[in-house]
Structure 1
Amino acid sequence: MARVKDPRDITLHDLITSWYGPPVRAAIPLPDTCDWLPAPLKHWHTLASRWDARLTRMTSMVPPEKIQVADDGKAVFMVDATGDWRWSFDPADPGTVHDAELYEPWQRNPEPFTQFLIHTATRELVHSVPHRLWTSAAPDAAVAEILSPLEEIGFGAWQWPTPGHRIFTGDDTLVQVVAADGGWQVEVAAREPTALTRLESIATITWHRPTR
């Protein structure tokens, strides 16, 4: 049976520190006008203020003082990089996240707010750290080799950006996989470049290095 890591065992502080190093400053408190926001979201913003590192690339957090409740009763707090996908909460049920593609009806996200933010932070790391690899057509046997020493994080299923993505973790790497035409799309993030050596030696994969 595959090993699965409970996301409740992960804290945002420990996750960010393990990849970006210790905080560089004290937290910047949010203004009183943000008191109505859900506690996990306030925690995200105050925690993120302690680092200079850019913690999101594929998504963007709405500045907390600019979050507003729309006519549909939802308050958008995050959007994807293209603005085509949105995430919101209902002030009457602040522990629940809703998401939807632009102009589509809201759907309840399967993860509670705190876990959702940890999922977000983990997925963003795959696209943000300096040492990364990706491939769009890894064969089954190669993916099994990549994942063999890793542990899956038991996140809930998201519809964005592609349904079915899964995230695995090891001592020095994060790996995201999703089924694609002709194989598997695999994205790898590593704390140090040497952690990528094992993967680059897999002969059946042509790896690419992101340009940013």
Structure 2
Amino acid sequence: MVDLSEIREVQGKSVFMKDATGDWVWAFGADDPDMVFEGVPGEDLEPVSEDLTEFLKHVTVLETLMTANFRRLGDQVPDEELPSILKPMQEVGFGGWRWPDPGYRTFSADSLLASVGPAVDPASPWLNRAGYSAVRIAGVESADLEYLDTTTAVKWI
């Protein structure tokens, strides 16, 4: 998040958040502060399909997935493994955004959160790898993730 003292209106939008590398930003509209925009700094920002409230909830879920004490990452998960990995969860109906890549979906259960999106092609890092997904899962307790140990086709980090 951008420090409040640094938020400035530029072309009708005010950047309030940047990704860790600073190459993607989110802004709210000056005329409609509930409208969120995203894109590359200095270029035209495009509207996000989530209003500000939903967007902030979505960001909170993503931050929880990234910082939870009990979490796993499978960066090359065969798509045929997804049903068993996601079985205890239901999809959350977030509108979505384009960062870090379009196509990410969020899942949850009482003690689990997951994010599923395109896997990076190891041979060409700017492309997605067909038939594979990147899966990030967080649990409230370590035991919540033990069911993942039965999946031998995935190397969890």
- Taking structure 2 as the reference length, what is the TM-score of the superposition? 0.89
Aligned to 1:109: 48
Does structure 1 residue 127 correspond to structure 2 residue 60?
no
The separation in 2 between residues aligned to 1:111 and 1:67, in whole angstroms, is 21
Query: Between the two proteins, what is the percent identity of the paired residues?
Result: 37
Q: Unpaired runs of 5+ in structure 1? A: 1-60
Does structure 1 residue 67 correspond to structure 2 residue 7?
yes
Does structure 1 residue 164 correspond to structure 2 residue 103?
yes
Aligned to 1:146: 85
- After TM superposition, list the pairs within 5 Å mapping 1:11-90 onto structure 2: 61-70=1-10, 72-90=11-29
Aligned to 1:201: 150
Deviations 1:20-57 (A, max 9, x none): xxxxxxxxxxxxxxxxxxxxxxxxxxxxxxxxxxxxxx
Q: CA deviation at 1:68?
A: 1.5
Q: CA deviation at 1:64?
A: 1.8
Q: CA deviation at 1:137?
A: 1.3
The separation in 1 between residues aligned to 2:34 and 2:72, in whole angstroms, is 35
Q: Unpaired runs of 5+ in structure 2? A: 120-128
SS in 2 for 1:119: helix
Q: CA deviation at 1:128?
A: 0.9
Q: Which amino acid aligns with 2:91?
A: E
The separation in 2 between residues aligned to 1:207 and 1:194, in whole angstroms, is 15
Bigger proportion of residues as strand: 2
Aligned length: 147
Deviations 1:82-135 (A, max 9, x none): 000011112211110111112321101111110110011111111011111111
Does structure 1 residue 95 correspond to structure 2 residue 34?
yes
SS in 2 for 1:93: coil
Bigger proportion of residues as helix: 1
Larger radius of gyration: 1
Aligned to 1:9: none
The separation in 2 between residues aligned to 1:103 and 1:80, in whole angstroms, is 14
Across the aligned residues of Structure 1 and Structure 2, the Cα RMSD in angstroms comes to 1.2
Q: CA deviation at 1:157?
A: 2.5
SS in 2 for 1:199: helix
SS in 2 for 1:116: helix
